[in-house]
Structure formats: C-alpha cells, structure tokens
Amino acid sequence: MDTFNAADNTDHERRRRGAAASMGPAVAAPVSDPGFETLKVRKVGAVLFTDIAAPPMNLLGPAMVRDLVSLIQQAEADNNLKVLVFRSADPDYFISHVDVTKIKEYREEAAKLTGEASIALLFRHLSASRLVTISQIEGRVRAAGSEFVLACDMRFAARESAIFAQPEPAFGAVPGGGGIQHLVRLMGRARALEVMLSAQDYDAELAERYGWINRSMPAKALGEFVRSLAHRIAKFPAGSLAAVKDRVNAIALAPVEDFRRDSDLFGESSRNPEGQSRFQAAFKRGFQTRDAEMDLAGLLGDLGDP
C-alpha cells in the first residue's frame, strides 16, 4: 500500500523526474490531498519529509495530534516507506508545547492510535515503530515539543536557532509525554534534573553536549545533512532497520507502564489548584502567544513563588 503517492501520478511529474534524474534524487511535490491541517508532506523515494505548519506558533493541539495519528497510520501501512523526517515550516518554533487549554481534546485524538488518551503513549508508539524517524530542528522545542523530538530516533539541530526546554515543573507539573524517561537515559540523573527543575532554555550546542540531540551544526548545512542521512538509511533493508530498532529499544526505551504513569501525573498536576493558578499567571504574562514565548524562560522566571 502506497498512501502518499497522490502527487506522483501525473505525466508532468514523471517528465520532471526524468529530466532531473541525472542530478540525483528529485524533490517530490507535496501530496495533492493529504487530509492534514497542520502537516505538509513530501515523499521522495522511501523517505517522507513532513513539515509542521500550525500557525501562529506550532502548538500541539487536537488538530496536530489528529494529523500525527493519521500520518503514522498511513506511513506504517505504506510498505515502501522506511524513513520519516520531521521539520518545521516556522523558523522560530518547531513544536512549542501542548495547548494547555485543550488537554482533554488532544488526548482524545491520541487515543485513536493507542487506545489510551495519552500523548506519552502516542510518542512511545512512534519510538517503537518500524519506521526510522529523524527530527531536523530549527526553532523552539519545549515541553511536549521536546518530548516529541525525544521520541524520534535521531535529532539534529541548527546551531543558530534551536532552543530546548522541559519546563513543566515551573507550572507545578511533571513532564507527561516521556521527557523524564528519555532525558534520564540520555543525560544521566544530574543533568536531567538540572534541565527539568531549572525550566531554562538550552541552546543547541549545550543540548548536544548533554546528549539531548545527536549533533548541532550550522543551519546552512543542516538540511542537506539530514536529507543525505535519510536517503542513505533508506537504501538498506527494511528488516534490518526494524530489527536494530527493536533491539536498541529493548535496552533504551522505557516500559509502557512508565510512560503511562508520567502521563497520569501530568494530568493530575495540571488540574490541581496550584497548577491552574500558575497557568493562569502565565497566561496573564502572554503564555501561548508567539511574541511572549520567544523568551519563555524569562516569563517563567517572573512567575515567582505561588
């Protein structure tokens, strides 16, 4: 089954590919009817490039979760696909964080894939998928944005613009999308505690040093590096790619029960009076607006004690 080839079935596209064949892999046109509100997809051979486009700041809300569920389902059903690359159409925000005004709604969308109302289990499904997933990060990835890229198999970031944070404790909450499970395994206990309890922003170079990402590099080199890596991986047998992922996950991916527990704790803490009070204080300072969140760490530092 090849779900993403709608844009490739015209004589014009075939002629264009033929003309470009001598110059290497062609850049496919966007799928003509992808059915997505917040994602733009391009299939090139066995690689699917997905651009996140949810203005004004790529909040992870019901529409994006719905699209991610559909994307994963379609991609896993396409036996010709081996690699998914996630990028952002917004240079300042990759995925900012969840829309905290729609927690129940986006959780309900996640349940359509996993059977449970939890983005933690949605993200873990992505980690366990046979598909190889790569995040090409430019802009801010905080909270659930960080947890999404952590769920991907590899993460590469633009040195000039990528910013990382796992700031839920500033709201009286715990990271509920897998951040605790991944960060402790990648960074070790002390650095994971620093990252989460400080609720600070971390640039790409420090994120690389801490193990949050594979590599940081100049933005001008990032796209070609990721494209080259994705196409190289896609040349290899699907069975060996899936087998290696399975064995690595047996060592490094936390059990479902641990993701479920973190998800439950986030839900509980976001509903309690302290959490609600801190969210409301943040909203008064511009939380969930594009301009104010350019310096979210500063905004959170100004909240003070409850």
Residue 1 inside a domain? The answer is: no
Residue 306 lies in a domain: no
Please give the single-letter amino acid code of residue 114.
T
Tell me the sheet residues that pair with 65: none
pLDDT of residue 303: 86
263-277 pLDDT per residue, tens: 999 999 999 999 999
In a domain, 159, yes or no: yes
Is a pLDDT exceeding 90 seen at residue 187?
yes
Residue 76 — pLDDT band, cuts 50, 70, 90?
very high
What are the distances in angstroms from CA 67 to CA 232, 259, 262?
27, 22, 23
For residue 56, cis peptide bond before it (omega within 30 degrees of 0): yes
Q: Which two tokens stand for residue 61?
A: 């809300």
Q: pLDDT-derived band of residue 4, with 50, 70 and 90 as boundaries?
A: low
Size (the chain), residues:
306
Domain range for 211 is: 6-222+229-300
| E strand or H helix that includes residue 239 | helix 238-252
Across 17-44, b (16+ Cβ under 10 Å) vs e yields: eeeeeeeeebebeebeebebebbebbbb
Residue 276 is assigned to a structural domain of this protein? yes
Residue 109 inside a domain? The answer is yes
User: What are the CA-CA distances from residue 306 to residues 11, 29, 56, 176, 265 (Å)?
Assistant: 63, 51, 29, 21, 20
Residue 305 pLDDT grade (very low, low, confident, very high; cuts 50, 70, 90): low
85 is a domain residue: yes
Report the C-alpha gap between 51 and 53 in whole angstroms: 6
Average pLDDT, the chain: 91
Domains: count for the chain: 1
Given a contact cutoff of 8 angstroms between Cβ atoms, the answer to whether 241 and 230 are in contact is: no
What pLDDT is recorded for position 27?
A: 47
| Residue 136 counted as domain residue | yes
pLDDT at 16 over 60: no
Element (H, E) at 252: helix 238-252
Q: What is the CATH number of the domain that holds 141?
A: 3.90.226.10
pLDDT per position as a tens digit, 231-286? 999 999 999 999 999 999 999 999 999 999 999 999 999 999 999 999 999 999 99
Judge whether 268 lies within some domain: yes
Dist CA 221 CA 87 (whole Å): 14
